[in-house]
Amino acid sequence: MNLKQLSEHLKLSQTTVSRALNGYPEVSEKTRKRVQDAANALNYQPNARAKGLATGRTHAIGHVIPVSGQREMVNPVFGDFIAGAGQTYAAAGYEIVISLVDDSREEDAYRAIHTRGSIDGIIVHGPLMNDPRIPLLTSLGLPFVVHGRASEVTTPYSWLDMNNVRAFERATEFLLDLGHRRIALINGLEFMDFAHRRREGFTAALTARGVAPDPALMRSEEMTEINGHRSAAQMLAQDSPPTAFLVSSMITAIGVRRAILEAGLVLGRDVSVITHDDDLGYLKNGSDVPIFTATRSSVRQAGRRAAELLLALIDDPGAGPLTDMLEAELIIGTSTGPAPQ
Amino acid sequence: MNLKQLSEHLKLSQTTVSRALNGYPEVSEKTRKRVQDAANALNYQPNARAKGLATGRTHAIGHVIPVSGQREMVNPVFGDFIAGAGQTYAAAGYEIVISLVDDSREEDAYRAIHTRGSIDGIIVHGPLMNDPRIPLLTSLGLPFVVHGRASEVTTPYSWLDMNNVRAFERATEFLLDLGHRRIALINGLEFMDFAHRRREGFTAALTARGVAPDPALMRSEEMTEINGHRSAAQMLAQDSPPTAFLVSSMITAIGVRRAILEAGLVLGRDVSVITHDDDLGYLKNGSDVPIFTATRSSVRQAGRRAAELLLALIDDPGAGPLTDMLEAELIIGTSTGPAPQ
DNA sequence: AACCTTTTCCAAAGCGCTTTGGATGAGCGC
DNA sequence: GCGCTCATCCAAAGCGCTTTGGAAAAGGTT
């Protein structure tokens, strides 16, 4: 069933039918009703391609996720972010187009996406400290929103970020208040912008209290269970082991917990752990009482919000860079306690 | 830069340029070369919408993932599956369109996707025992491949599945061989087809050896760390606790491990655990030596393969239902050992 | 050189929609 | 009943591509 058939069926012109369905005023309410009823009854849906060709709008958003090279794995938060963004899109009638882009050919890929014109806007995932995609997309003139920020990029752009500095600062302060002085940081890869910022918050809090950050207590690695376990095990075996860990993700924290238990220590008594918790659907931090004390910020919510920003930008490209900062909450679980004497 | 501009630039007709670019024989190699060079130099990319309109092909694949209702969470394996499928698509010049569909309006959603025509084929995720989507899609005539199967659907359709029955059978046999008799199954939700099959394999292996399946040792729940922990803790506190656990996912197994450690037991000595391992990028089961003995099957590989099937189906819709069964390997880690006396 | 085949290229229609620029008729005051 | 304005509807062009049905040019034969 296409427009032509529908209009013939109704004995109206395609123009009138199109206008009736798209809410233009040049058509009487009576005919509009008649048209809409027929469209529903006959299960008419306009062809997305044709509509896109005619309007220049695709009603699709691109999510470009970098793969291979240094970061072979697909980010585990990706699914939840998409789920959040998807809610916003669905409500606005947008579709999601995923592009997996090998970061060696990143520039070409973004160019191609743009000129192929199958997308109205882009969400940029996993920004690096100095991410070349941002100036590139700016010069292409394609609306985009970055999930996160790129510290070293100075030109303005739209982003949505969690306040990583503040979150890790607060977490560190909380541990310091509990009397901990030897606090370890098990961070993500620090060429990723968020990880860099978290270290900033961590060291800032320490130095503000006159505690010198100890390089032996800081790791930067992919956020896996294995890595968390290995790093924590090594640190706990040191001469003066840390009494607390600040960890960058739930999965890593699970590895840290394993190392602690294996060392015969009790979590929350002998060793404290605070983790960042993205509030992932499939990796809840406890049900009523959280297991880990955590800086929590829902990545699903971030997805919803980022999508809102992007849609606003698409509706009014002149709206200038839109930004939004989400604050993480510090939730208290059973994994922290006063520093042992 | 569009076709018209390019053809004017070259002083050729749009027809010739189009043919040169798309490899038709009606154009001399010399002009083809000239056209291609110009296209590269001027960074020409055909408009995807227009091409789609003209050819009836969109070069896009839909991945429809059910959300909300009973299964609020986005499947954690989804990211890796997409990453695998994405490789295949990229090589064939296809894009991925994600649709999040509320399963209360599932039927409408699939209809709409079809008639809007923005997709050449569909991958169906998370099939249920008797999944209504399969007859629906069949009747719509849209090429589709199911990731998994639907036990109660009798009409033929294309699918790619892991041999869940065999995998869990083998795992159970392995535990029986080690002398375990009280084996617990911590399964996923059994209206999901894969979970149903896993229980089948489990009970089949038990009964084949004359061990009666004990309902007190079988759980069916969402595969989260919390659930794994709770179920295992409860079972270990029973009068005659299990000596081994068969677990449906790595995340759940991590919860089970926590319960075992908390009970003061040693994993692989006092209690054995076998888990299914989807070989997710962000949740590796150890590096050289696996932590858990596991039935392993790469979901990324499944994604690649499912995409191949679907593309084949799109190229030749008459190719009839295509199916492929992946066998899981049983890998031995340190989480299993002989049953304690 | 005349004829026939190939090769090489082109004009125009068509994919399904939106939108511009009217045309038609109803309703109004006079 | 005349001319006017609105309300209502329509024909046709255009979005950027592919593809059909030819036409023109080149090459080969005799």
Residue A139 touches partner B, C-beta closer than 8 Å: no
Torsion of Cα atoms, B5 then B8 then B13 then B14, to 10°: 0
Strand C bases, protein C-beta under 7 A: 7-12, 14-22
Residue A82 touches partner B, C-beta closer than 8 Å: yes
More confident residue, A292 or B107: A292
Phi, psi (deg, nearest 5) at residue B17: -65, -45
Q: Mind listing the pLDDT tens digit for each residue in A136-194?
A: 999 999 999 999 999 999 999 999 999 999 999 999 999 999 999 999 999 999 999 99
Verify if strand C has an atom below 7 Å from the CB of B53: yes
Of A149, A150, A152, the closest CA to residue A160 belongs to A149
Verify if strand D has an atom below 7 Å from the CB of B302: no
Token pair listed for B119: 């997709």
Verify if strand C has an atom below 7 Å from the CB of B339: no
Verify if strand C has an atom below 7 Å from the CB of A14: yes
Chain A residues with beta carbon closer than 8 angstroms to that of B78: 79
Average predicted confidence (pLDDT) for chain B: 93
A45 CB-contact burial (10 Å; exposed 0-12 / middle 13-18 / buried 19+) = middle
Verify if strand D has an atom below 7 Å from the CB of A6: no
Chain B residues with beta carbon closer than 8 angstroms to that of A226: 284, 286-287
Residues 6+ apart with CB under 8 A from A130: A150, A151, A152, A153
Which residue, among A6, A61, A89, A95, would best test binding to B if mutated, counting the most B CBs under 10 Å from its CB?
A95
Amino acid occupying residue A175: L
One fold for A60-162+300-326 and A164-298: yes
Does pTM top 0.85 for this prediction? Answer: yes
Place of tokens 């069933």: A1
Q: A96 to chain B nearest CA, in Å?
A: 5
pLDDT of residue A100: 84
pLDDT of residue B26: 86
Chain A residues with beta carbon closer than 8 angstroms to that of B45: 111-112, 115-116
pLDDT of residue B72: 54
Q: How confident is chain A (341 residues) per 10-residue block, as mean pLDDT?
A: 90 91 89 91 91 92 78 77 92 90 82 88 93 93 95 96 98 98 97 96 98 97 94 97 97 95 94 97 85 96 97 89 97 97 83
CA distance A74 to B82: 9
Residue B31 has pLDDT above 70, yes or no: yes
- A183-187 sheet: strands from edge to edge: A218-220, A183-187, A244-247, A272-277, A293-296, A329-331
Asked if A112's CB is within 8 angstroms of B284's CB, the reply is no
**Nearest nucleotide (C1') to alpha carbon of A31:** D8
DSSP letter at A20 equals H
DSSP string, B186-212: EE--TTBHHHHHHHHHHHHHHHHTTPP
Q: B210 to chain A nearest CA, in Å?
A: 36
**A-chain residue closest to B80, CA distance:** A74
Element (H or E) spanning A228, and its range? helix A225-236
Asked if B116's CB is within 8 angstroms of A46's CB, the reply is yes
Asked if B72's CB is within 8 angstroms of A284's CB, the reply is no
The domain B60-162+300-326 is classified under which CATH number: 3.60.70.12, 3.40.50.2000, 1.10.3720.10, 3.40.50.2300? 3.40.50.2300
Residue B233 touches partner A, C-beta closer than 8 Å: no
Verify if strand C has an atom below 7 Å from the CB of A10: no
Amino acid occupying residue A107: E
Q: Mind listing the pLDDT tens digit for each residue in A262-284?
A: 899 999 999 999 999 999 988 88
Partner residues linked to B145 by β-bridges: B123
Verify if strand C has an atom below 7 Å from the CB of A27: no
Q: A258 to chain B nearest CA, in Å?
A: 8
Region B197-218 average pLDDT = 98
Domain residue extents for chain A: 60-162+300-326, 164-298
Residues 6+ apart with CB under 8 A from B276: B167, B168, B198, B247, B248, B249, B250, B294, B295, B296, B297, B328
Asked if A111's CB is within 8 angstroms of B43's CB, the reply is yes
CB-to-strand D under 7 Å, chain A 38-77? 50, 53-54
Gyration radius of chain B's alpha carbons: 25
Element (H or E) spanning A252, and its range? helix A250-262
* A 308-337 residues inside an 8 A Cβ radius of B: none
What is the sign of the dihedral through the CA atoms of B16, B19, B21 and B24?
A: negative
Which residue, among B71, B88, B98, would best test binding to A if mutated, counting the most A CBs under 10 Å from its CB?
B98
**A-chain residue closest to B59, CA distance:** A118
Q: Mind listing the pLDDT tens digit for each residue in B51-102?
A: 999 999 999 999 988 776 555 567 789 889 999 999 999 889 999 999 888 8
Asked if B282's CB is within 8 angstroms of A251's CB, the reply is yes
Q: How confident is the model at residue B103 (pLDDT cuts 50, 70, 90)?
A: confident
Asked if A225's CB is within 8 angstroms of B254's CB, the reply is yes
DSSP string, B264-326: T--BTTTBEEEEEE---TTS-S-SSS-SSEEEE--HHHHHHHHHHHHHHHHH-GGG---EEEE
Residue B284 touches partner A, C-beta closer than 8 Å: yes
* B 28-57 residues inside an 8 A Cβ radius of A: 43-50, 52-53
B177 CB-contact burial (10 Å; exposed 0-12 / middle 13-18 / buried 19+) = exposed
Q: Mind listing the pLDDT tens digit for each residue in B216-271?
A: 999 999 999 999 999 999 999 999 999 999 999 999 999 999 999 989 999 999 99
Q: How confident is the model at residue B113 (pLDDT cuts 50, 70, 90)?
A: confident
CA distance A196 to A199: 5
pLDDT of residue B182: 98
Answer yes or no: are the C-beta atoms of A299 and A249 closer than 8 Å. Answer: no
Of B131, B56, B109, B97, the closest CA to residue A43 belongs to B109
Ranges A260-274, B2-16, B203-217: which has the least confidence = B2-16
Chain B residues with beta carbon closer than 8 angstroms to that of A43: 111, 115
Verify if strand D has an atom below 7 Å from the CB of B50: yes
Answer yes or no: are the C-beta atoms of A125 and A65 closer than 8 Å. Answer: yes
Å from the A47 CA to the D21 C1': 29
The fold for domain B164-298 equals Rossmann fold (3.40.50)
pLDDT of residue A71: 55
pLDDT of residue B73: 60
DSSP string, B103-164: GGGHHHHHHHHHHHT--SEEEE-S-BTT-THHHHHHHHT--EEEES--TT--S---EEEE-H
